[in-house]
């Protein structure tokens, strides 16, 4: 095939492809989007935007003892398939408001009290921040996995805890392997 015939075919292709659009008066754009997920598991609606209340904390007790008792809380994951329930779960706790005291990381809080928050696993070991950590044995009830943790209040590394409100927000990410 010579160069002129090739050029003629190349010029005709856009004409035929564009012709239906040029003569159509009712064209529309359709946009598709979605998300591919590796597992059917979902964070339970009860665990999303979870508030963990820490009540009846005496500032004097915190200052004298260094920290409060641990308040338990859990994260529920549901809609898992039988295969997903056998996978290793890795959880990443995420915060950019960490303060290190004696080798352990604590969350700085907002408010007047000047306290820090400590997160622990179900065995009351400090969690590892900003890195995936494998979660050990998990309780499963009605195809819902429950990841158990705890939180406690700690006095600041310097100075004293004060009376007043405090709050902090952290994020977490769950992966299945």
What are the extents of the domains in the chain?
42-176
* Sequence-distant (≥ 6) Cβ neighbours of residue 160 within 8 angstroms: 59, 63, 114
- Of the candidates 83, 108, 113, 110, the one whose C-alpha atom is nearest the C-alpha of residue 98 is 108
Instruction: State in words which class domain 42-176 has.
Output: mainly beta
Q: What is the pLDDT of residue 67?
A: 94
Strands (DSSP E) found in the chain: 42-43, 71-78, 89-94, 98-101, 104-108, 110-111, 116-121, 133-135, 139-141, 144-154, 166-167, 171-176
Q: Are 115 and 153 in contact (CB under 8 A)?
A: yes
State pTM to two decimals.
0.72
Cα–Cα distance, 102 to 80 (Å, whole number): 39
Going residue by residue through the chain, which has 177 residues, state the pLDDT in tens, using 9 for 90 and above.
444 434 344 444 444 444 454 455 555 666 666 655 555 678 888 887 888 888 889 999 999 999 999 999 988 888 777 777 777 888 899 999 999 999 999 999 999 999 999 999 989 999 999 999 887 667 776 767 888 899 999 999 999 999 999 999 898 888 877
What residues pair up with 174 in beta bridges, in sequence order?
A: 91
Q: What's the confidence (pLDDT) of residue 98?
A: 95
* Strand bridging mode 116-121 / 171-176: unpaired
């Amino acid at each position: 095939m010579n160069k002129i015939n090739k050029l003629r075919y190349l010029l005709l292709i856009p004409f035929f492809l564009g012709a239906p659009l040029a003569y159509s008066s009712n064209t529309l754009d359709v946009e598709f989007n979605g998300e591919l997920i590796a597992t059917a598991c979902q964070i339970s609606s009860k665990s999303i935007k979870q508030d963990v209340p820490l009540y009846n904390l005496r500032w004097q007790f915190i200052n004298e003892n260094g920290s409060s008792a641990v308040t338990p809380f859990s994260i529920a994951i549901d809609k898992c398939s039988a295969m997903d329930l056998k996978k290793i779960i890795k959880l990443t706790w995420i915060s950019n408001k960490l303060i290190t005291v004696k080798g352990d990381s604590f969350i700085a809080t907002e408010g007047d009290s000047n306290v820090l928050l400590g997160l622990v696993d179900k065995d009351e070991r400090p969690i590892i921040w900003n890195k995936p950590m494998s979660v050990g044995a998990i309780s499963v009830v009605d195809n819902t996995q429950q990841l158990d943790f705890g939180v406690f209040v700690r006095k600041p590394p310097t100075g004293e805890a004060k009376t007043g409100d405090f709050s902090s927000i952290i994020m977490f990410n769950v992966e299945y392997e």
